[in-house]
Structure 1
Amino acid sequence: MASSLQLQFRLSPSTTPALLRHRPIQCATDRRALFDRIAPVYDNLNDLLSLGQHRIWKRMAVSWSGAKAGDCVLDICCGSGDLAFLLSQKVGSNGKVTGLDFSRQQLSIASSRQTSLSRPCYKNIEWVEGDALNLPFSDGSVDAITMGYGLRNVLDKRKALEEMLRVLKEGSKLSILDFSKATQPTTASIQEWMINNIVVPVASGYGLAEDYKYLSKSISEFSTGKELEKLALEMGFMFCLGSKLWNLTIVRIWCFGFMSLMH
Structure 2
Amino acid sequence: MASLSLSLPAFSSSRPLARSSNERQALFSRIAPVYDNLNDLLSLGQHRIWKRMAISWSAARKGDWVLDLCCGSGDLAFLLSQKVGFEGKVTGLDFSREQLSIASARQDSFWKPCYKNIAWIEGDALDLPFPDSYFDAITVGYGLRNLVDKHAAMKEVFRVLKPGSRVSILDFNKSTNSSVVFIQEWMINNVVVPVASNYGLAEEYTYLKSSIDNFLTGKELEKLANELGFSKARHYEIGGGLMGNLVATR
Question: Which of 197, 222, 243 is 1:256 aligned to?
Answer: 243
Q: Does 1:245 align with 2:217?
A: no
Find the aligned partners of 1:78 and 1:248 in 2 and give their Cα distance.
Answer: 21
Partner of 2:208: 215
Task: Give me the TM-score of the superposition, normalised by structure 1.
Answer: 0.85
Per-residue CA distance 1:206-244 (angstroms, 9 max, x = gap): 00000111222211111111111111100111336xxx2
The 2-side partners of 1:53 and 1:239 are apart by 28
How far apart, in 2, do the equivalents of 1:236 and 1:27 lie? 29
**Within 2, Cα distance between the matches of 1:197 and 1:101?**
30
1-side partners of 2:238 and 2:168: how far apart?
Answer: 16
Shift of 1:30: 2.1
Listed as ranges, the gaps of 5+ residues in structure 1 are 1-25
* CA contact 1:27–1:155 (8 Å) conserved in 2: no
Q: 1:83 aligns with which of 70, 76, 80?
A: 76
What is the Cα deviation at residue 27 of structure 1? Answer: 4.7
Q: TM-score when scaled to structure 2?
A: 0.90
Equivalent residues of 1:61, 1:176 under 8 A apart: yes
Distance 1:77 1:233 in 2: 22
Equivalent residues, number:
232
* Equivalent pair of 1:132/1:160 in contact (CA under 8 Å): yes
In 2, the alpha carbon distance for the partners of 1:32 and 1:178 equals 20
* Aligned equivalent of 2:105: 112
Please, which of 24, 28, 50 is the counterpart of residue 31 of structure 1?
A: 24
Q: How does 1:161-240 map to 2 (within 5 A)?
A: 161-239=154-232
**What's the CA shift string for 1:60-115, capped at 9, x where partnerless?**
10111111111110000000000000000011111100000011111000000001
Q: In structure 1, what residue type is equivalent to 2:219?
A: K
| Contact 2:238–2:245 under 8 Å retained in 1 | no
Letter in 1 for 2:178: P
Shift of 1:142: 0.6
Q: Relative to structure 1, is the Cα distance of residues 164 and 27 closer, same or farther in structure 2, using a 3 angstrom cutoff?
A: farther
Deviation for aligned residue 1:249: 4.2
Secondary structure of the corresponding residue to residue 162 of structure 2:
strand
Runs of 4+ in 1 over 4 A off after TM superposition: none
Give 3-state SS (helix, strand or coil) of 2:206's partner. Answer: helix
1:125 is matched with 118
Report % sequence identity.
66
Q: Which moved more, 1:182-191 or 1:123-132?
A: 182-191
Provide the secondary structure at the position in 2 that maps to 1:123. helix
Q: Which moved more, 1:28-37 or 1:72-81?
A: 28-37
SS of the residue corresponding to residue 245 of structure 1 reads strand
Distance 1:125 1:166 in 2: 22
CA distance in 1, matches of 2:212, 2:154: 18
Code of the residue aligned with 1:183 in structure 2: it is: T
Distance in 2, matches of 1:249 and 1:173, equals 22
What SS is found at the alignment partner of 1:111?
A: helix
